[in-house]
Structure 1
Amino acid sequence: MEYLERALQKAFIDKTIASEKLNPKFIVNNPEKKDYLLTTLHQEMNSCQSFFISVAFVTQDGLNAIKAQLADLAERGIAGKILTSTYLGFNEPKAFASLLNIPNVEVRISSKKGFHSKGYLFDKEDHKTFIIGSSNLTMSALKLNYEWNVKLTSNDNGEMISTIEEHLIQEWEAAVPLTREWVENFEENYQGLKVTKWIEDIQQKSYPPYVVPNEMQKQALNNLQELRQTGAKRGLVISATGTGKTYLAGFDVHQFSPKRMLFIVHREQILTKAMASFKKIISGDDADFGILSGNSKNTSAKYLFATIQTISKDSYQNQLGADAFDYILIDEVHKAGASSYKKTINFFQPEFLLGMTATPERTDGFNIFELFDYNIAYEIRLQQALEEDMLCPFYYFGVTDYEKDGHVIDETSDLNYLMDQERVDFLIQKIDYYGCSGNVPKGLVFCSRKEEAQRMAELFTQRGIPSAYLSGDHNLEKREQEVQNLENGKINYIFTVDIFNEGIDIPKINQVVMLRNTESSIIFIQQLGRGLRKHPSKEFVTVIDFIGNYKNNYMIPMALSGDNSRNKNNIRRDTVDVTYISGLSSINFEKVAKERIFKSIDQVRLNTLADLKDSFYKAKHRLNRVPYLLDFEKMDSIDPLIISGKEKTYYHFLKKIGEAEGEVSEAENLALRFVSVELLLGIRPHELLLIDQFINTERNNLTFSEMKQLFDGLNVYYTKDTIESAVHVLDLSFYETGTRKSYLASRMFTLTDRGLAVTDNFKSYRQNPYFLKLLKDLVDTGLAKSQRYDITKPLNLYEKYRRKDVLRMLNMDFKQNEQGIGGYTYSNQHFAIFVTLDKGKDFKASLMAYEDEFIDESTFKWFTKSPRTLASPEVQILKNADDWHIHLFIKRKYNNKDNETDFYYLGELTPIEETIQQLQKPTTDGKLKNVVELEFKLQDPVEPNYYEFLTQSSEEVE
């Protein structure tokens, strides 16, 4: 009641009143900030005891947006109601049919004239939440449209909520239950919106016989033209599957206007479609276009479309001649490492060679970038393509794979277990539940083994779901026949293992099912991309990923987010917060599936020397030079912090792999280590900007006044304390004795009465250009990283900090090493609490088992060190904390493999004085020691996604 009273006072009487939770909220979709009504809806569903949704309009994609949450609620025995309508004929029969497949939702259809309500009611343990506004249960309304909604919270006895509930009950009782028979009758009479039908007719009749470039293609065409103007003979276009690479090639051929053109592909069935696309763009007689393949021997066409198998033969190359074409383009050019491609590229001498691919990164070591002289004309990846509405929206569901008698599917599962009859029933149930656009599947199913794929196709067929099996063992004719059967509706699924990852165009695919371990991010995106090409027969693609107990599960969030940093914290974040996906697409993980990903992240090592070398050489292949840390940061490649954390300095890493471009002394390397370990994180830019001044100039001093002028000129926020802290860090006086001593021999700066001066060390180091290059790289990379922080605040919510970073940002004393600080420290009116929430079953770093825990999103229970009493200094501070700032930092769990030292910042705390009590707890040696227990209120309630992540026990993911 106290929370609710404060929330209402804050909302309707005085906005300055402190209120931790239950606050009314105005919700507007804001794609730029990744803030959506859908996120709030997920949060409310995850914590409800029941729900009642009353909306006029429901679409299949709107249901997809909440299906994973509904599945988790069903596992917990929680059900709800949906009241909808047939108003304006908006709701389609397929949407009603999809509603029938949700077991824990009862649905009724209102017959009220003009039914146009939009409300979502959630029953919680001690209150109710109601969202009311303009949003129907459609993906556009939940994520993209400009909608107004308000979230209100009420006590069960509140008049407004009682009135709403009574009205909902009345409407519910007057409505008709949704049944299979009702859907069938409705479908027979369904007309749909007349205006929608009229628009569709107009669209179908108004397509011009030609096509024009989209915005992506316009930019790419400009880039290609500019590239050629520099004298370049080759260029590479990197474009996600389904974004119009073939049309782009046609447009560029049109603007180049070659005397003769050669288009090379690796599969014959692509040629006819490619040629048809070119005919829409390039004017000319049909005789100007020809095919050279196993079935067609045209060699004289102005625009020749050839398979690599044919054009690579000596007889055709000799017949045509090396200078036959002034423009050549190669589709799926990542295959160009094969001898047939190399031979063909080396033979012909065009004025310009264009390569196109969605996946330039290769696992076979072939360097595509080198082949095209490192000229990347244009690049568009999955996220950008979704933002530009170039791909079909997809709904990814990470679901729990089959489990029986405690055994979960993994890489070593027996084949008989994979094909267990109960597993097949389980898979079909899940696939039916998550469904597809239009409810009639045209799906690709990726399996782990040929035998599994073949048997699964048979078992699905036996259950009335016609399916086929294809692998690399089948010839081209068989593959084309089964693809045709899928498109024509004769079969529902093709089960496959080692084909269809790429180079296949089946636009009608509306469902992709993954029954295998994720081998790599590249393959994952290739398989997901099979369904992303737009087609009039579908509104979206459903991707159902059955997540077993696989070691590589960590790759799933990496692939979906496009985050290649190999930073575990980023991967965990991308598992709990999936708002990074753009447009109408969405990502959802069932709870258990999410836990299996967490387990995989915890167990994997992502910073081995082999991993670092792999990332290094991929970057080098792309850049045609030794990459530096700033390159990795700009390219969204491996996080430079991973390298510095593993190897201490980038120079040490380069030296180890034989790629160092110069020499630095041990003393110079120690100076680089100081910047790498202490400043590369970029939590504030001030120290880095000061170092940069001494790199870029020959000056040896910088006064405090000049520092202020520097920050003012760069429009960088600072305070007097910030500047003092920065200079103390650089002259090492900030650090405790052990840390200071470890860097002292290579100290670069010293504090003077007027400001900062360089040491003789730095004067000497500055004579080494390679040292300066490495130091500048560190500074620039740290400054790039600092852009993610709001530097007007010393600490940012949900960012991660080491203990010493906290002391540095709060200008606290650093008198003992980080291990000695332990669970908390206090000085300078700041009290910093560091908690490892779930220390794991084998945690032995403490003599006492502390039971620090969240009571809820706004309340945290905590114990002091032992022995402590009510008279201890820190307890006295907490009992009289008005002038103190108390900060909470949390690690999710103790993990010996990770050896993490970073804590999430969860904001400031207020002690609840009446909870402070002294008690005794046993130690591991059987003694009892005094400790003090108390509860805190968080100034900012923990966001639901982070709360779920941080409070999850390690035993849950065992």
Structure 2
Amino acid sequence: LRNTTVRISYDTDRTRLHAKTYTFHRNNGFSTSYIGSSNLSNPAITSGLEWNVKVTEQDSYDIIQRIEKTFETYWKDPEFIEYTPESRERLQRALSKERRSEIDLRPVFDIRPYYYQKEILERLKAERELHNNYRNLIVAATGTGKTVISAFDYKSLVQRPGGYPRLLFVAHREEILKQSLQVFRGVLKDQNFGDLLVGGNEPAQIEHLFTSIQSLNSRNLPMITPPDYYDMIIVDEFHHAAAPSYQRLLTHYTPKVLLGLTATPERMDNLDILEYFNEKISAEIRLPEAINRKLLAPFHYFGVTDVVDLDTVPWKRGTYDPAELSRLYTGNQQRADLIIRAVQDYTTDLHDIIGLGFCVSVEHAEYMAAAFREAGIPAACLHAGSSREERSTIQKRLVTREIHFIFVVDLYNEGVDIPEVNTILFLRPTESLTVFIQQFGRGLRLSDGKECLTVLDFVGNHNKNFPFGERIAALLSPGGKTLVEQVSRDSYSLPKGCYIHFEEKARERVLANIRANITNRATLIRKIRSFEDETGEPLSFKKFLQRYSLQPLDVYRRGTFCSLAAEAGVYPGTYADERLFPRTAAIRLATLNSPEAIRLIRAALSDPCHYSPAALSDREKSILALFYYSLSDVPLRDENMGIEEIFSDLFAYDEIRREICDLLEYNGAHIEFLPKPVDLGFENALELHATYTRAQAFAALGHYTLTWKPAGGSREGVVYLEDKKADVFLVTLNKTEEHYSPTTMYKDYAVNEDLFHWQSQSTTSASSPTGRRYIEHERRGSRVLLFVREYNKVDGVTQPYLFLGTARYVSHEGSRPMSITWELDDPMPPGFFLKANKMVVG
């Protein structure tokens, strides 16, 4: 085809581009597109029975623009490679691989990580280089490509071509080891890398070894290698690692990096695997992301109104009294009838059910199994007293649908793991979010014939401290309306194919619970007042966040911690005056994640004598100004004031200073990226991919100083700093008419990780002085700085900007406004790219 360019993705497992759209672009403003089912063939275009719709630029300008921009993002995605005559053999191999049913381990394309895998790799890098944690656990569902992540993680440790660090990869099955070895060879582009020690395979070397735990022990590998022999040890399915067979491996070796991969961090025998990873999970793939990627089955969740009143059940140390729950549930025929009726109402065919019911006690589980059998629904129960043979037999009977339900007490304690499960009953309140997600996840495993998981959650009149809101929030996709709004309307932001519905009374109970929990000022005050009695520990902001699994903004939406503690009667009444530490200031600091700024501010608050402004470098002064303008909007009159004078209220009130230090410590511990300074040709305190408010950004640039800032501040989205020869772009992607006028709702989005489409102010033309400055910025020695955020506000809180770094002019279209494509000097973070790109393709 002459005058035709074709781009192809060769990864048949990864890319399923099924969009059929034919666009005819015309410079006269009369472009047209045909969208529908027709292939580009004679029958499809002429006589075939097809569904198509024609849209025109004149009538549907926004749709045409959306189509063109979506096509642009695909066209410029490195996934799609330009086809040339030399590519013919490669294309034939890819097509042949797709048609073959047998496994073909030879890669026909360069293995590249998905964006969500890149995000995990970034977090691993931050864990090690920023937090000095080299024992890392990744939690991700089966099928999410944990092996690919581990291979790229290993590749990042390779300092020079062929200079491979010593690697030990341990898995429990030969097929997994063979496939993992091929993945590593593909990622490293070295088909000679690594050897197998499993089954009948004899390795030629042991420096880069893929082995089973059985072979490792039978060949006595720890006896012939010293503890520090391997630089990196990767253990697949690490939840097996608490078993005795893994102890020689884990106790003998001391690698520089230990990487664990698992879908379920909770062991089925209650043994803790987090002890091997400094009691933390380094990275995990969120449930909504995994469902959208079709790595887990979608769910249909129904909140059913329960007949049992839980408001009178004793609530101690964050949990219900299990004995009292068991007493209320066991033998309760009215409740059993309700549960059976709900199963009949909310499932399509009783004969297709492969279900699990979670109970509070052995007696409860036995009672429920008997009640279901009496109703004609075959069921059994499993508990700690069940023999291994009994467990195996009952699980097989469930899979073959000889029975339809197994009632269990604690699923992960009882060893029930059945991918075919398609129905789950929550028959007891589950206070722990981790346990809830683990139990929920048992039904999300993909299995032939499973369309979705049906979940019935029986909603009682819960104690006001029961955290129902976090359970629902964990199931939702990010970026939707507030949780209260979604539950109120019974309309949810969900992964593809998922559904949530609450019965009317159940929804009222959940709404009341959410409103009474965390987000309510009175509830926070009550929790603060009872903290020391409940925990036996002295109150602090840090401990309060840990105790209730809160983030700082959960508190700051209702007040500063000190003011709430004063209102609770725990701190002196003077702390109730929020003018000492305004809530708006606390919110600004709560989003600060620049490691260098956090370190300097904490040090200055702890030891002010060593941080006199006169003795600080320009960069340090910028950080001090950043902190100051987080607390105040009014410049200082005297630049010679000391730290204690500048922040006199903080040093006069110890608890406020302690709260800020706790806040900054929290921020520092939760940084998930590896920042770096940015060379702008002048001293500045900005760090790449950190977030800043507008005032913090200008202070970090040295534009705002302790004694000067523009009167009234600057509200424009573009600010040119003439003395620094820098254009600062402050971009909000998701604009609404509430916050932007029609003349300022510019169209900004990411084309790919390196290219950003930005629309200028409505008065800017290519021939104007401003337009020429943009186009000629490199020749003029001027820089373009890009700060971007997804929303102006979330839940009423103004959002900070992510600093994407410097950018270079590539091209432009149009005039008044100009549409400019910028190339970033550093790729944007993969997680943020998905947000910035969805404005086009989402």
TM-score by length of 2: 0.45
Which entry has the higher C-alpha Rg, 1 or 2? Answer: 1
